[in-house]
Amino acid sequence: MTTLTDMTEAHTEVLTSYPPSADFAAAANATAALYDEAEADRLAFWAEQAHRLSWDTPFTEVLDWSQAPFAKWFVGGKLNVAYNCVDRHVEAGNGDRVAIHWEGEPVGDSRVLTYAQLKDEVCKAANALTELGLVAGDRVAIYMPMVPEAIVAMLACARLGVMHSVVFAGFSATALRARIEDAEAKLVITTDGQYRRGNAVSLKEAVDEAVKGQDCVQHVLVVRRTGIDVDWTDGRDLWWHEKVDAASTEHTPEAFDAEQPLFLLYTSGTTGKPKGIIHTSGGYLTQASYTHFNVFDIKTDTDIYWCTADIGWVTGHTYIVYGPLSNGATQVVYEGTPASPDEHRHFQVIEKYGVTIYYTAPTLIRTFMKWGREIAFAHDLSSLRLLGSVGEPINPEAWRWYRLVFGADATPIVDTWWQTETGAAMISPLPGVTDCKPGSAMRPLPGISAKIVDDDGNELQPSSDHGEHLTGYLVLDKPWPSMLRGIWGDPERFKETYWARFAEQGWYFAGDGARYGSDGEVWVLGRIDDVMNIAGHRISTAEVESALVGHAGVAEAAVVGASDDTTGQAICAFVILKAHHAEMSNEQMVDELRAEVAREISPIAKPREIHVVPELPKTRSGKIMRRLLRDVAEGRELGDTSTLVDPTVFEAIRAGKS
């Protein structure tokens, strides 16, 4: 665990603030009045935001919190999420508006989908899913690269009240299998293969492995993307272009209860088993839509919005699928990696489509910094008017570089703090209102309430500019519409993980350390639990440890996240080998272990360093002191070692490390 003291020492505030230009402020969707409205009557404010959506049956109560922490928002209301994201824009006469400018990884491979075309595709897919026997409440696993069919598949599920569980296509067959099993998915939707840095690689192979022997999966629906050969199981496997393309474009959306489960999204917790985070319909869509409209200042007639996330993460769900589409926005969806075919790709895409709003992660901004500003300056980026950041704290240097190089030192930057569990942005500037401080997500959005508190739940005071900076726990002290409704199959874990720490006060414990700045703004400093943040990807130390000890040669393993200039944190592992592994050199063993982690979890979870050590530092109760290992990994003087059984263990560890 990172202690709050570690965080405080590592953090220094930068004072300059950046107000929006007068022009931006004057035209902005959100003004300061939004804070006042929310302040005056929070629930009435949320009711008003919910009315931005189209309801089949109006709700009779905004919030039922009587079964806390299990919330019900917009009680009695009925709506169809897909209708709200697609049909209603067509009915309003905007069927010819582009919904998706899709840019494939191979240069020149692109597609345009208008809202009318998207509606036809979603209806066909919904009809096909119905023919396959799916009914409201069932689960569908979606394991796909960033192709339009992935978005169509999600919306088709939503249209039927079927829950989707999107699994990032970079995850291994083992990780996919665990998620399919936990959710008892009836259908898996995938592609034959995917492009990875110019090469077509198989994806269906991983699905075949993941569904082997799983009784729950009845069908695998396969989109042909790369044309590479696939193994085929007759009766189980179906081609999308045969099944979906043959279906009718007529489909009447059914209205579902506001609390109809919309999706499951698995995320890492402090144990090895990923949590299936449950989101529902009315509240989730209300906050996704409201935040997308106000934080990204969307003007549907003129903006070209681009969020660089993958639909395998919550950012892709909320700010590629449900937020933008519910608002009728026009967006760019890009299939590939930023360096494919070379480092110019993102800038070319911005130039090609005239992207006006660009939303990405700090780790990518730092990668662009490493590549050098000349690359960006070789392109016309003058269409950009608003930039966004998400996934981890953005360091002030990267913030300023982003604004200077992407934003001609003029565009606002919205640094949005939120989580898979919160469903949508919670703490963020409003771009036409907030004087931003680089590195701070600033204030809770209108309608949202957050506090930074000490161990006993006392709220911290704003820091003085020169005095001590007190660090505390970030909590959400009032329910919000897009809050998670639980963990799939494990209500106890839901209560324990998020609601037990401040049970007396009834607050949600976010797992992040934070402090107030001198103007009362929030500085989120990072996780205080055993969750790491690698390039914006959430991976728990326990998951990696369990992959390592799964190898026959490993006796014990301890994993920490150490700071890394590009990825924010990097995974460092310390392993004790079993005596009998001796036929292999330590170097060979380390290579094998890195491969094992990639196989078990994903290449994104491969440790940057694996150190073979004779012992691990433990407390008398047998708990591994990760804090001390982090000191070692980051080359620092050791912190307090007095609780260790054997303080000399570090000499041996340091020897193993060098």
Binding-site residues sit at: 196-199, 315, 391-393, 415-420, 512, 527, 538, 549, 551, 554
The rounded radius of gyration (Å) of the Cα atoms in the chain is 24
Q: Which is nearer to ligand WT7, 80 or 315 (CB)?
A: 315
- Binding residue count for ligand WT7, defined by CB under 6 A: 23
Does 512 participate in binding ligand WT7 (rule CB under 6 A)?
yes
Query: Which 401-420 positions form the footprint of ligand WT7 (CB under 6 A)?
Result: 415-420
Q: Which amino acid is at 356?
A: T
Q: Which is nearer to ligand WT7, 280 or 540 (CB)?
A: 540
Task: Encode burial over 321-357: b for 16+ CB neighbours within 10 A, e otherwise.
Answer: bbbbbbbbbbbbbbbbebebeebbbbbebbbebebbb
> Which residue stretch of 128-136, 288-296, 520-528, 549-557 sits at the interface with ligand WT7 (rule: CB under 6 A)?
520-528
Shortest distance, position 524 Cβ to ligand WT7, whole Å: 4
Q: Which is nearer to ligand WT7, 536 or 607 (CB)?
A: 536
- CA angle at 480 for the pair 479 and 486, rounded to the nearest 5°: 75
Does 125 participate in binding ligand WT7 (rule CB under 6 A)?
no
Does 441 participate in binding ligand WT7 (rule CB under 6 A)?
yes
CA distances from 612 to 200, 367, 544, 589, 623 (A): 36, 30, 15, 9, 19
Among 260, 497, 533, 569, binds ligand WT7 (CB under 6 A): 533
Q: What's the rounded Cα separation, in Å, for the pair 511 and 498? A: 8
Shortest distance, position 168 Cβ to ligand WT7, whole Å: 11
Shortest distance, position 422 Cβ to ligand WT7, whole Å: 7
Q: What's the rounded Cα separation, in Å, for the pair 261 and 153? A: 16
Q: Which one-letter DSSP state was computed for residue 116?
A: H
User: β-strand 486-487 against 275-280: which pairing, if any?
Assistant: antiparallel
Shortest distance, position 233 Cβ to ligand WT7, whole Å: 34
Q: Which is nearer to ligand WT7, 149 or 530 (CB)?
A: 530
Shortest distance, position 288 Cβ to ligand WT7, whole Å: 12
Q: What's the rounded Cα separation, in Å, for the pair 247 and 245? A: 5
CA distances from 561 to 9, 433, 570, 572, 615 (A): 17, 36, 5, 6, 19
Which residues define the annotated binding site for CoA? 196-199, 315
Among 376, 390, 554, 633, binds ligand WT7 (CB under 6 A): 390
What is the largest distance, in Å, between two alpha-carbon atoms of the chain? 74
Does 287 participate in binding ligand WT7 (rule CB under 6 A)?
no
Q: What's the rounded Cα separation, in Å, for the pair 115 and 194? A: 25
> Which residue stretch of 246-254, 334-342, 509-517, 553-561 sits at the interface with ligand WT7 (rule: CB under 6 A)?
509-517
Report the length, in residues, of the chain.
658
Q: What's the rounded Cα separation, in Å, for the pair 7 and 4? A: 5
Shortest distance, position 223 Cβ to ligand WT7, whole Å: 26
Shortest distance, position 461 Cβ to ligand WT7, whole Å: 21
- CA angle at 413 for the pair 409 and 418, rounded to the nearest 5°: 160
Q: Other CB atoms closer than 10 Å to residue 299's CB: what's the count?
A: 17
Question: Cα dihedral angle (491, 493, 497, 503), rounded to 10 degrees?
Answer: 60
Among 127, 260, 267, 294, binds ligand WT7 (CB under 6 A): 267
Beta carbons of 57 and 75 less than 8 angstroms apart: no
Does 568 participate in binding ligand WT7 (rule CB under 6 A)?
no
> Which residue stretch of 184-192, 231-239, 327-335, 521-529 sits at the interface with ligand WT7 (rule: CB under 6 A)?
521-529
Among 526, 568, 607, 617, binds ligand WT7 (CB under 6 A): 526
Q: Other CB atoms closer than 10 Å to residue 70's CB: what's the count?
A: 16
Q: DSSP for 345-365?
A: HHHHHHHHHT--EEEE-HHHH
Shortest distance, position 515 Cβ to ligand WT7, whole Å: 12
Does 195 participate in binding ligand WT7 (rule CB under 6 A)?
no
Q: Which is nearer to ligand WT7, 336 or 393 (CB)?
A: 393
Phi/psi at 219 (nearest 5 deg)?
A: -140, 155
Shortest distance, position 360 Cβ to ligand WT7, whole Å: 11
Tokens of 594: 């890195």
Does 263 participate in binding ligand WT7 (rule CB under 6 A)?
no
Does 399 participate in binding ligand WT7 (rule CB under 6 A)?
no
Which residues define the annotated binding site for Mg(2+)? 549, 551, 554
Does 392 participate in binding ligand WT7 (rule CB under 6 A)?
yes
Shortest distance, position 441 Cβ to ligand WT7, whole Å: 5
Shortest distance, position 399 Cβ to ligand WT7, whole Å: 11
* Binding letters toward ligand WT7, positions 212-251, x by CB under 6 A: ----------------------------------------
> Which residue stretch of 137-145, 207-215, 450-458, 525-533 sits at the interface with ligand WT7 (rule: CB under 6 A)?
525-533
Beta carbons of 545 and 272 less than 8 angstroms apart: yes
- Tell which residue, 606, 608, 487, 631, has the closest CA to residue 539: 606
- Tell which residue, 205, 210, 204, 247, has the closest CA to residue 222: 204
Among 527, 606, 618, 630, binds ligand WT7 (CB under 6 A): 527
Does 314 participate in binding ligand WT7 (rule CB under 6 A)?
yes
Q: Which is nearer to ligand WT7, 191 or 308 (CB)?
A: 308
Contact residues for ligand WT7, defined by CB under 6 A: 267, 313-315, 390-393, 415-420, 441, 510-512, 524, 526-527, 533, 538
